[in-house]
């Protein structure tokens, strides 16, 4: 089971790296040849994400890489994560037993109102004899976003709110940083009210 999960995480990470690379090509920030070169270099460079490699190797401004990462990689994951959280909340809600968020929510619009990126340069050392040996370097990124969300419902209504989210590239973990109470008050209760009213 553990090895299977690790393989899935590696495949997801590789797909996301390719997605940001393709988005940078579509945006005109790099060429197809640049992307192929960066992917080849990434295989040999431990711990350097594709976006950071592209910024360093081809002079793409980090602002372009960061914005592309937010829109091409993190927002699609955020939408799935938010819907999964709303589904979990609805399953425990005795006042909305018949509401299936997967079918009731027919669309989701997201607008990033603000984001910030913290960069970590990490060096790994391993004890060897009476000292330590440097094993390698890794660059990590933590991206925090404030996202305005509008959910469209099968009844023709809309519910909106603002959600905070954070991504840590070191663990590839994307988390909603707002507590459940905030998510319920800003989005879920409006969704449930519309569902119960038939809209």
Number of structural domains found in the chain: 1
pLDDT (mean) for 151-170: 93
Give burial (CB, 10 Å; 0-12/13-18/19+) of 25: middle
Average pLDDT of every residue of the chain: 87
pLDDT in tens, 19-30: 889 999 999 999
How many Å is the Cα radius of gyration of the chain? 20
Q: What are phi and psi of 129, to 5 degrees?
A: 65, -125
pLDDT in tens, 1-44: 555 545 555 555 566 677 889 999 999 999 999 999 988 887 76
Q: What tokens does 101 get?
A: 């968020």
Give me the domain span that covers residue 49.
2-197
pTM of the model: 0.80
């Amino acid at each position: 089971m553990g090895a299977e999960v690790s393989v899935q995480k590696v495949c997801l990470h590789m797909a996301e790296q390719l997605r940001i690379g393709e988005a940078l090509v579509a945006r005109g920030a790099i060429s197809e040849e640049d992307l192929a070169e960066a992917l080849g270099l990434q295989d040999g460079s431990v711990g350097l994400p594709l976006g950071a490699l592209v910024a360093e190797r081809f002079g793409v401004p980090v602002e372009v890489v960061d914005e592309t990462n937010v829109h091409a990689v993190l927002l699609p994951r955020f939408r799935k994560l938010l819907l999964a959280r709303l589904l979990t909340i609805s399953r425990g809600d005795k006042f909305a037993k018949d509401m299936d968020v997967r079918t009731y929510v027919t669309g989701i619009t997201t607008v990033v109102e603000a984001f910030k990126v913290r960069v970590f340069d990490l060096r790994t050392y391993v004890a060897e004899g009476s000292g330590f040996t440097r094993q390698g370097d890794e660059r990590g990124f933590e991206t925090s976003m404030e996202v305005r969300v509008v959910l469209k419902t099968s009844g023709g209504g809309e519910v909106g709110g603002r959600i905070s989210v954070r991504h840590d590239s070191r663990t590839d973990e994307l988390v909603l940083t707002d507590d459940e109470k905030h998510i319920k008050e800003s989005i879920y209760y409006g969704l449930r009210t519309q569902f119960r009213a038939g809209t």
